[in-house]
Amino acid sequence: MAEVILDRQGDATILTIDRPSAHNAISRSVMDELDVALTEVAASDTRVLAIRGAGERVFVSGGDLKDLAAVRTETDAQAMALRMRHLLDRVAGLPIPVLGALNGHALGGGGEVAIACDFRVAADDIRLAFNQVDLAITPAWGGIERLEAVVGRARALYLLSTGLPVDAPTAAAWGLVELVVPPPEFDARLADLLERIGRAPRAALVGIKATVEAARPAVRPELAAAATASFARVWADDAHWEAVAEMERRRAESKPRPVGPPGSPPAG
């Protein structure tokens, strides 16, 4: 089953991360499929791209820790980070507008996916967090510099250092999202917005984005080596894996235990 789906709708394309059972987390196989999908989008005549998650609860929950647990060394961690950073640079560097459709929560690496888009529309019940610090790591997919460009130095450092989430209205007030809509209206408002943008000639949209990019680049390749090296050091450190184990322990404890028939032994 495909985990990255492209859906052409008139002059617009919607890219969906389709892993609802894994909270739309980014695995290495998702990276493979993103590579193929972005190549297809870049070669097409589509006028606007929207990126969203499957379902209604989560946009992207970050990296898939179960899959990425196989990445243990600094060398492998940096290679993984550079790969995903390059993919999000391709998102930000597309010549057409890219809309982040935050149908659900955007957490950790999901925040980095969202901020790689040119602008964002969000359901009013979502939360947005750059909470990598809770796992004793740093954002490594280009999110730090893109976040700072959007919200400024102080707010970027606040969000990155605390890992605290912001709700949709706060995200709108801080410029993290441009439009907040009730969840029942989300799909219709997204379709209307894509149709509105798609009315413009592709050449006009490309020209607008090129001029904005010249004024403030969204892709900063000169920062990649240092950012991913810093990430790789903390990823391979024991503190990260201890934080991952603690998070998994808390998740396991929060799951309700199945209740058996009277007289059956306790679940365990």
Q: Give the pLDDT confidence of 138-170 residue by residue, as tens digits.
A: 999 999 999 999 999 999 999 999 999 999 999
Rounded CA-CA distance 173/9 in Å is: 31
Residue 32 falls inside a structural domain: yes
Task: Decide if 70 contacts 232 (C-beta within 8 A).
Answer: no
pLDDT tens-digit profile of 14-26?
Answer: 999 999 999 999 9
Q: What is the per-residue DSSP string for 69-88?
A: TT--SHHHHHHHHHHHHHHH
In a domain, 17, yes or no: yes
- 267 has a pLDDT exceeding 90: no
For position 159, which CATH number holds?
A: 3.90.226.10
Does residue 261 lie in a domain region?
A: no
Answer yes or no: is pLDDT of 231 > 50.
Answer: yes
Q: How many domains does the chain have?
A: 1
Helix boundaries (H) for 176-237: 186-198, 202-215, 224-236
70 lies in a domain?
yes
Distance, in Å, from the CA atom of 120 to the CA atom of 107, rounded to the nearest integer, reads 15
249 in a structural domain: no
The total number of residues written for the chain in this structure: 268
Task: Identify the three-state secondary structure at position 133.
Answer: helix
Which residues span the domain enclosing 13? 4-238
* Phi, psi angles (nearest 5°) of residue 260: -90, 180
Pairing of strands 4-9, 12-17: antiparallel
- The answer to the question of residue 266 being in a domain is no
What distance, in Å, lies between the first and last C-alpha atoms of the chain?
33
pLDDT given for residue 256 in this prediction = 63
179 in a domain, yes or no?
A: yes
Q: How confident is the model at residue 111 (pLDDT cuts 50, 70, 90)?
A: very high
State yes or no: pLDDT of 177 exceeds 90.
yes
Does pLDDT of 6 surpass 60? Answer: yes
Residue whose token pair is 């492209």: 6
**pTM exceeds 0.95 for this model:** no
Residue 89 lies in a domain: yes
| pLDDT confidence bin for 257, thresholds 50/70/90 | low
Least confident of 17-26, 35-44, 142-151, 241-250: 241-250
